[in-house]
Structure formats: structure tokens, C-alpha cells
Amino acid sequence: MEKKYSILLYYCYAKVEDFEAYREEHHLFCIENNLRGRIIISPEGLNGTVSGLKEDCEKYMEYVKSDSRFADTEFKVEPHDQMAFAKLHVRVKPEIVHSSLRHINPREKTGGYVEPEDFRKILEEQPEDTVILDVRSNYEHNVGRFKNALTLDIDNFRDFPEKVKELDHLKGKKVVTYCTGGIKCEKASAYLLEQGFENVYQLHGGIIKYGIEAEGKDFEGKCYVFDNRITADVNKVNPTIVSRCHITGEPTDRMVNCANPECNAHIPMSEEAGWLMDGCCSEECRNNPARRPYDGTGYYQKNTNHYNPIKGVKREPAKID
């Protein structure tokens, strides 16, 4: 049965001078077309995950590409059986992905693209002179990663430059980076080039595009995503489970956020353990009076005012009834 909804994942590095005005216009378009999701608009471009009916998502892609600044935006489109978000957030931020690499413009310098089918061959052959480098955070690669990939012990992408200092021994090798949708790799690969790595590439479109175009072969576990699904299936050829339940230690690829909002840790947790612990990672969190009601999903909507770090303006989250 054909799924009625789509989930769009995309980014585009482009100069945006009228970011406040464009935010208002962009926000209005999404409301008028019944779209939900998280969209970041910044002076350096766009980044978003959007969900809606298939036909509304098609209108949205046309709308984005109709602006000459974003004409070459590449959308990763996944069919889904329902909305992947409960609300719409369109925010202005200094960067489209939080990093400590604001000086890098991927339009000027970035690693070469490796298309999904070529990346699949690299995974199958595992050449000795090639390193597959995961540039995502711990909670992401702990639930899923490519076979034999090198992972980094980082809690946030902004910690990536510090970790690169530990990779000097790889400067003579071909380094192929990857992330969820490609956005982090644009800057990560550029930074590696800046630090003296000469043979640097990136998986074009990230894990999601690889799953769509190359069936996800040799991606172990699930892909952490930033919508209500929390994790998504990628591998249609040889799927495995690599993560273990935070409570029981049993294999599971089910991810939750701790129900204690003061913790909110991203952890693997089986369905049984989730109900046993009321969605919490520890007894301490379980006994916290601020604990949120657990509904079996481990996903919680934020209900906060949002601060515009460029203009210093607070605004209420946009809502769709």
C-alpha cells in the first residue's frame, strides 16, 4: 500500500542576507501547506527535516528550488505512513549545523563526493589505504554505523576539530567521511583538508541517501534521525543490531530520550525496559519529580521559548493545529 506522507531531509549552503524576512516567508509557506518539521535558516544557508502529505512535500521542494540561492538543493525523500513531527519550527540560527567551524564555506572548499554505489564498493572491498570516518556524535553511532568505520568519542559535532588532532597517523590514507544526511561532512571534510589531509572525500547525501540508492548494505544497526521516529531502518540487504539496552544489556536498536528532562540522555532501551523504568535511564531519573509521562515512544516535544542568537529576539514556537 502506497504511503501518503513523505519525510524530506535536506541542506543547502548559500549566502542568505535577508534571513529574518526569509524566515517569516518560509514559515508562512509551511503553515499554508500543512507542513511540519524543523527548519534552520542562517546567514550560511538552509537545513531542514520536513514532513507532510506527499503532494504538499512536492510543493515545498518546488518552493525551495524556485529561489535561485537554493536551486541546487538535493532532497532525500522517504515515504512514511504518517506525519513525522507534531509541530513546525522555523528558526534563525548562526549556522545551519552547530559547529566550531564557522570560518569554513563548503561552497569554496570541501571534500570530493563519493556516490552511494561507489561507497558500497569501498565497503565491500575494504582497501587498506582507505578509512571510513564517522563524524557523528556518540549517541548516533552507538545505535548504527558502517561496517569497520572509525568512530570518534564526541558528544557534539563542535568537538570534532579537537578529535582531529588524534588522527594525524591517517594523513597518508584516503579518508571518506559520512554522517546522517551529508551536512556535517561538508565542513568536516573541509577541515581535514585544512589540517593537512590530502586525500579526503565524503559520502554524498550521507547515510539516508545511501539507504535509498544502495539499499544500505553493510550499515550495521539503525540510523539516528531527528524526527519522531528517533531511528530509521537503512539496511535492506544484511541488517544487524549493534546497540544494547542501557538497562538490561540485551541487543536492541530502539532509541529513547530519558523521561527526566534534566537528563534527556539518548539511549538504547528495549520496550520492556522502557515500561519497567518509566522511560528513564536510572532510578535517580525515575524518581525525579520533573519526570515526563512515558507513552512508550521515548520522544518528547519541547515546550520552550526560542531565542534568536543573531538578533536576540524571543519567539513562541510555531504550531499547527
Mean pLDDT of the region 286-314: 69
Q: Which amino acid is at 17?
A: E
Question: pLDDT above 90 covers what percent of the chain?
Answer: 88
Q: How far apart are CA 242 and CA 145, in angstroms?
A: 8
**8 A C-beta contact, residue 226 and residue 203:** no
- Give the pLDDT of residue 230: 85
Q: Is the pLDDT of residue 320 over 60?
A: no
277 band by pLDDT with thresholds 50, 70 and 90: very high
299 band by pLDDT with thresholds 50, 70 and 90: confident
Mean pLDDT of the region 174-197: 98
- Give the pLDDT of residue 213: 97
Q: Is the pLDDT of residue 311 over 70?
A: no
Q: Is the pLDDT of residue 17 over 80?
A: yes
Q: What is the pLDDT of residues 85-134, one digit of tens each?
A: 999 999 999 999 999 999 999 999 999 999 999 999 999 998 999 999 99
Assigned C-alpha cell, 263? 537528563
- Give the pLDDT of residue 307: 35
Helix or strand (DSSP H, E) at 52: strand 45-53
Cβ neighbours of 79 (radius 10 Å): 11
- Give the pLDDT of residue 1: 75
- Helix, strand or coil for residue 19? helix
- Give the pLDDT of residue 321: 29
Q: What is the pLDDT of residues 42-53, one digit of tens each?
A: 999 999 999 999
313 band by pLDDT with thresholds 50, 70 and 90: very low
- Give the pLDDT of residue 2: 86
Q: How far apart are CA 247 and CA 7, in angstroms?
A: 31
Please, which residues bridge with residue 96 across strands? Answer: none
Please, which residues bridge with residue 92 across strands? Answer: 41
Q: How far apart are CA 130 and CA 226, in angstroms?
A: 29
Contacts of 3 (CB under 8 A, 6+ apart): 54, 79, 80, 81
The DSSP bridge pattern shows strands 200-203 and 174-178 to be parallel
- Give the pLDDT of residue 301: 72
Assigned C-alpha cell, 261? 528532562
Q: Looking at residue 132, what DSSP letter applies?
A: E
Measured in residues, the chain has a length of 321
Mean pLDDT of the region 251-265: 93
Q: Which of 4-8, 72-76, 106-110, 308-312 has the lowest mean pLDDT?
A: 308-312
- Give the pLDDT of residue 302: 62
The DSSP bridge pattern shows strands 112-114 and 200-203 to be parallel
**8 A C-beta contact, residue 50 and residue 27:** no
298 band by pLDDT with thresholds 50, 70 and 90: confident
**8 A C-beta contact, residue 29 and residue 52:** no
Mean pLDDT of the region 213-218: 97
Active-site residue, 263 included: no
Is 153 buried (19+), middle (13-18) or exposed (0-12) by CB count in 10 A? exposed
Assigned C-alpha cell, 164? 582531529
**8 A C-beta contact, residue 144 and residue 232:** no
Q: Is the pLDDT of residue 7 over 50?
A: yes
Question: pLDDT above 70 covers what percent of the chain?
Answer: 94
Place of cell 542576507: 17
Q: What is the pLDDT of residues 136-166, one digit of tens each?
A: 999 999 999 999 999 999 999 999 999 999 9
**Helix 19-32 and helix 54-65: axis angle, to 10°?**
160
Closest CA to 227 of 87, 28, 79: 87
Specify the pTM: 0.88
**8 A C-beta contact, residue 218 and residue 227:** no
The DSSP bridge pattern shows strands 36-42 and 130-134 to be unpaired
Query: Mean pLDDT of all residues in the chain?
Result: 92
Which of the following is catalytic: 30, 57, 179, 185? 179
